[in-house]
């Protein structure tokens, strides 16, 4: 097994809600959990993979949640650059990640053995990736490299974001066979493809998005049958609408998302992957990102100037709340310190939220157990500190 380090965990009582917040990391450099669409738990939910800048390089680590012991999984001078390009195999103890936008690699979580799966084709760079529910295929976004004419730094301020969208780059989704090591192109088009997210239950289905400024993208969310190579709009979009940040519910059949309707009202929505059973509800308080296990309880991360984890509870035809779960004080300054809350059930069946925040200057991974909804203060009248 790779090098291990003692626990860095600490805890505090949140000054607004009174819940106990566990800070899982404490190293004086940025650490973050995986992107909110990507499960980071393994070993039966007893351990969690995270990304951390230590020794002047970004590498993958694993934390044992009960005791806090940390294990280094990779020891690379150039490691993963973004939490959205790291994904765990749901069937075996293995993790996949993109290095410097040029390579897809795999690391065995129990041994630390690293192997290369794919190089970026000439003239292309690699985006985010995910692994299918059967554990047999890694799907990765392959993007036309336009760095000779567009300066891009999406991790630190979305530099070049609109310019790359307007260039209509040639993009693909490649499927890597983990048994044979072969890669084939499952989808290609002249549009910026991102957020490649495989269903956690359906082995041949993923969602992806047309990336770009939300107000300009005519149809953001898409569904792809991987074997057939057939894509179709997911939740067809009308003029003036802007929806996205799609993620799979735990059942692997339905997708949650948020956005703004044509009349300007913010909403949360849920729809089956086959475009049936779609519903949307107005939301009174905006957040940068939302996540949930299903539609019954949703967590949002607030926004700059409103630094709270917010809970919303489904009440049949509307959502109650928000209630304040915790004051995260996240800056959202760069991608690695975006709060990106992810809701999950731990090994004991408790509902928890993992998030990243930098209230002391460095991004750190935090974990909070969700108490009874009624026990939390409403956002409108938080208690005095």
In this prediction, residue 78 carries a pLDDT of 86
3-state secondary structure (DSSP) of residue 2: coil
The CATH number assigned to the domain with range 80-261 reads 2.130.10.10
- Report how far residue 231's alpha carbon sits from residue 275's, in angstroms, rounded to the nearest whole number: 12
Q: What is the pLDDT of residues 320-338, one digit of tens each?
A: 999 999 999 999 888 889 9
Where do runs of H (alpha helix) occur along the chain?
Answer: 161-166
Interval 372-381 mean pLDDT? 89
Give the residue extent of every domain in the chain. 80-261
- Report how far residue 86's alpha carbon sits from residue 206's, in angstroms, rounded to the nearest whole number: 16
Interval 92-112 mean pLDDT? 96
Q: What is the pLDDT of residues 43-94, one digit of tens each?
A: 999 999 999 999 999 999 999 999 999 999 999 998 888 899 999 999 999 9
CA triple 42-95-232, angle to 5 deg: 100
| Nearest alpha-carbon partner for 249 in 273, 223, 277, 283 | 273
The values of phi and psi at residue 162, to 5°, are -70, -40
- Residue 218 CB neighbour total at 10 angstroms: 12
DSSP secondary structure code for residue 359 in this structure? T
In this prediction, residue 384 carries a pLDDT of 38
Instruction: Write down the residue that tokens 């059949």 correspond to.
Output: 253
With cut-offs at 50, 70 and 90, classify the pLDDT of residue 383: very low
Q: What is the pLDDT of residues 254-277, one digit of tens each?
A: 999 999 999 989 999 999 999 999
Which two tokens mark 91? 């069937």
Task: List residues bridging with 23 in a β-sheet.
Answer: 10, 366
- Report how far residue 378's alpha carbon sits from residue 372's, in angstroms, rounded to the nearest whole number: 13
Q: What is the pLDDT of residues 162-208, one digit of tens each?
A: 999 999 999 999 999 998 878 999 999 999 999 999 999 999 999 99
């Amino acid at each position: 097994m790779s090098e291990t380090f003692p626990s860095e965990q600490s805890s505090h009582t949140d000054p607004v809600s009174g819940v106990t917040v566990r800070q899982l990391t404490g190293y004086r450099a940025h650490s973050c959990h995986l992107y909110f669409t990507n499960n980071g738990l393994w070993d039966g939910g007893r351990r969690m993979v995270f990304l951390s800048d230590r020794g002047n390089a970004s590498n993958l680590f694993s934390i044992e949640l009960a005791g806090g012991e940390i294990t280094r999984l990779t020891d690379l001078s150039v490691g993963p650059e973004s939490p959205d390009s790291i994904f765990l195999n749901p069937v075996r103890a293995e993790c996949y990640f993109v290095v410097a936008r040029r390579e897809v690699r795999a690391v065995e979580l129990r041994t630390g053995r690293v192997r290369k799966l794919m190089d970026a084709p000439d003239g292309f760079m690699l985006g985010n990736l995910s692994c299918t529910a059967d554990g047999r295929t890694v799907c990765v976004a392959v993007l036309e490299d336009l760095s000779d004419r567009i300066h891009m730094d999406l991790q630190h301020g979305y530099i070049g974001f609109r310019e790359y969208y307007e260039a209509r780059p040639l993009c693909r989704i490649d499927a890597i066979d983990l048994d044979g090591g072969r890669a084939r192109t499952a989808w290609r088009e002249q549009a910026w493809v991102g957020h490649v997210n495989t269903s956690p239950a359906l082995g041949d289905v993923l969602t992806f998005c047309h990336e770009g400024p939300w107000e300009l993208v005519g149809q953001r969310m898409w569904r792809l049958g991987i074997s057939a190579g057939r894509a179709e709009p997911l939740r067809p979009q009308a003029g003036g609408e802007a929806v996205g940040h799609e993620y799979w519910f735990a059942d692997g059949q339905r997708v949650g998302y948020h956005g703004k309707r044509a009349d300007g009202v913010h909403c949360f929505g849920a729809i089956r992957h086959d475009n049936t059973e779609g519903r949307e509800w107005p939301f009174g308080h905006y957040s940068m990102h939302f996540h949930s296990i299903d539609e019954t309880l949703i967590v949002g991360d607030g926004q700059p100037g409103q630094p709270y984890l917010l809970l919303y509870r489904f009440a049949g035809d509307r959502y109650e709340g928000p209630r304040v779960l915790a004051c995260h004080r996240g800056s959202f300054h760069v991608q690695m310190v975006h709060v990106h809350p992810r809701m999950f059930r731990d090994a004991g069946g408790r509902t928890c939220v993992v998030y990243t925040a930098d209230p002391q200057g460095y991004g750190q991974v935090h974990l909070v157990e969700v108490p009874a909804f009624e026990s939390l203060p409403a956002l409108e009248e938080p208690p005095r500190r």
